Chain A
Amino acid sequence: MNYRAAIALRKTVDIAVTALVAAVCLAPILWGLSTSLKPANRIMEYPPRLVPETISFEHYQTLWDQGILHYIMNSVLVSAFTIALCLGVGSLAGYALARFAFPGKSAILFTIVAVMSVPISSLLVPTFGFMVDLNLLNTRTGLVLLYAAYELPMTVWILQAFFQTIPVELERAAMVDGYSRMQAIRRVILPLSTTGLVAAGLFVLTFAWNDFVVALVMTTNEDARTLPIAIYNFLGYYGREWGPLTAGAMVSIVPLITIFVIFQRHFLAGATGGSVKG
């Protein structure tokens, strides 16, 4: 086999493997999309069709009628405030860990890594007790605080690693130029950290937006319920409501995918790292 043929073959294999992986990952989503657009009486038809014969938005209408907006707003608010809290606290903590030498620093770093490995489900019962005592059950604030607590170790870790790649001379220059340390962080370090902030923010978003277990336990009525719980309830309350269920799933997936597409440039750059030079 000559060189050119070898390259062509390798390319073909690459594409084939990638396509296979993509198909396996995307198939359930495509199937869900298809189901959500079928009229209710066609969902269980045999043989099944991937492309619906007639397209109907009735399930989306059902969602709307049942007040899906309330759950969407809950998810949006909880996710947004969790991200804000995580990035706010996480960037300050990450900065301190990246830049200052202080007693107990390595103990803190070790603890952060250790805490990341604690399974959340093992914390549910004690945290539920806390939430009741603090009157935070069934509140969005309670969810935000819990999510932030779960995701802060990861956020701090990502950001401190990122800050270390930024030359210390940049903030020193800013301080000599007449800016306080906080101003130097805000005007020099944070603008150069978009990649790290986006990467950490997406981590937090994925968790907060998709979380099911914590939200299920910490909400006993509709007040603070988030989208994943609402979708789940279509399984329980009215028998198997496949149409609204898949429509709800689509509604919850689309915003996340949109945000990832928008920020993918940053996310990839963050993963490869070293993109900032002094």
Chain B
Amino acid sequence: MSHVTFSSVSKRFGKIVALDKLDLSIREGEFVSLLGPSGSGKTTTLNLLAGLLPIGEGEIHIDGKLVNYVSPDKRDLAMVFQNYALYPHMTIFENIAFPLRAKRGRFSAAEIDAKVKRVSEMLGVGDLLARYPKELSGGQQQRVALGRAMVRDPKVFLLDEPLSNLDARLRIRMRQDIKALHTRIGSTIVYVTHDQAEAMSLSSRIAVFAKGKLQQFATPNEIYNRPANLFVAGFVGEREINQFEGRLHREGGQLVLQADGTRIEMGTPDGFERAMDKPLIVGMRAEDLEPQATAELGLIPATVKLAELIGPDLILQVMVGHLVLDCRADPRGNFRPGDVVHLRPRVDAIQVFDPQTTESLRNFS
């Protein structure tokens, strides 16, 4: 178990800045996801940590030791690759044993045998040891790749989109397995993914990347409920957050949000002080707009355009004036296109962003 620090780390490929002054501190035993779209710098970050790319500027420390010039084989890490990178010319046994046979290992044949057996049993590939990688299914190959990483006791586990080549159901099962594994072995894990659901479900903390820059580094809860900027708010969540232009002002004692001719009376919530009386981009998640059939004071009238039943959720697309918003209704509710509904906003969950900088203007206590 180890801690990892990136200090002002940058990496360029030709003229492209792949990573721009990254500062990131990963604590011992933490499960950290690097989340972002492709080209955001997350995989570059992982490869720099593994030593597979020469570092441009800045410093990386593992356990307080500078590793900028330490080659990958001496960093004592384990890595699982997106395409698994199993050695095609070796049996499953030899694949898992490979890290133990490296010079630093010095394990006896009996020790190697015992370790490979233990790990392969744990991952349910114990009866496949004599086979070759190409004879295994994708899910089995995935487990072998995990096994090869787990057979040692590395300082940090690096996982590069390990689930993205699996089908949807298997992905969810392996996600749970990885989470259980982390709970069990308690190692420091750095996990690269572009799937926000994976990052949310697995991580102690998530680092959100875009265009080579770290956008926010926080717990899943904070990332979801207190996004630092518009990008994070938009990238995280099953569906895109509702976004529209608006303006906040005070009428009497209470806050009023004015957007496209619609007035939303917000009462007296805290945390909007920096957002008063200026143009804003407002973000509201579907689950923070609850539609109901009956009118009440303070609710926003809207017309249903579309109704989608997705498992436990009924998602309505509604029109408020000219705004098109998603909102989440009780799946047992009976809403049809054309119905008039009344939206109850969760006022404290409303996000406000500066249109120029896209930074959040909310203060959270």
Contacts and interface: CB of A to CB of B under 8 A. Distances in A.
Nearest to B76: A178
A191 B98 CA distance: 14
A176 B73 contact: yes
A129 interface: no
Contact of B77 (A170, A176, A179): A176
A191 B89 contact: yes
B150 interface: no
- B-side interface mostly: loop
Contact of A176 (B78, B89, B134): B78
Interface stretch (B99-107, B226-234, B309-317): B99-107
Nearest to A175: B72
Given A175-B73, A277-B134, 5 more contacts: A172-B85, A176-B72, A176-B158, A191-B89, A278-B88
Nearest to A170: B85
Interface in B114-129: none
11 contacts: A175-B51, A176-B73, A176-B79, A177-B99, A178-B105, A179-B73, A179-B103, A188-B89, A276-B88, A277-B88, A278-B84
B27 to A, nearest CB: 22
B87 to A, nearest CB: 6
Interface in A160-182: 167, 169-170, 172-181
A177 B102 contact: yes
A192 interface: yes
Contacts of B194: none
A178 B85 contact: no
A175 B52 contact: yes
A73 B136 CA distance: 48
A176 B102 contact: no
B14 to A, nearest CB: 9
A269 B158 CA distance: 35
Contacts of A174: 87, 98
B249 to A, nearest CB: 56
A169 B148 contact: no
Interface size class of B (residues with CB under 8 A): 20 to 34
B289 interface: no
B60 interface: no
Interface of A: 167, 169-170, 172-181, 183, 188, 191-192, 276-278
A3 to B, nearest CB: 37
Contacts of A180: 71, 73
Contacts of A173: 79, 81, 85, 87, 148
Given A172-B52, A178-B99, A192 B88 contact: yes
Contacts, number: 70
Contact of B87 (A176, A178, A188): A188
A177 B81 CA distance: 12
Nearest to B148: A177
Given A176-B52, A178-B105, A278 B71 contact: no
A169 B52 CA distance: 10
B79 A178 contact: no
B50 interface: yes
Top 5 A-B pairs, shortest CB-CB distance: A178-B102, A169-B85, A173-B85, A177-B99, A175-B72
A188 B148 CA distance: 15
A174 B148 CA distance: 11
A172 B104 CA distance: 17
Contacts of B7: none
A179 B105 CA distance: 11
Interface in B201-224: none
Contact of A192 (B51, B81, B89, B99): B89
Among the interface residues A169, A180, A277, which one has the most CB atoms of the partner chain B within 10 A? A169
Contacts of A277: 88, 134
Interface in B51-95: 51-52, 71-73, 75, 77-79, 81-89
B83 A278 contact: yes
Given A177-B99, A178-B103, A179-B102, A170 B73 contact: no
Nearest to B53: A172
A167 B82 CA distance: 12
Contacts of B87: 170, 173-174, 188
B71 A175 contact: yes
Given A188-B87, A278-B85, A176 B98 contact: no
Interface string B292-306: 000000000000000
Contacts of A177: 73, 78, 98-99, 102, 148
Contacts of A188: 87, 89
B50 to A, nearest CB: 6
Contacts of A167: 83, 85
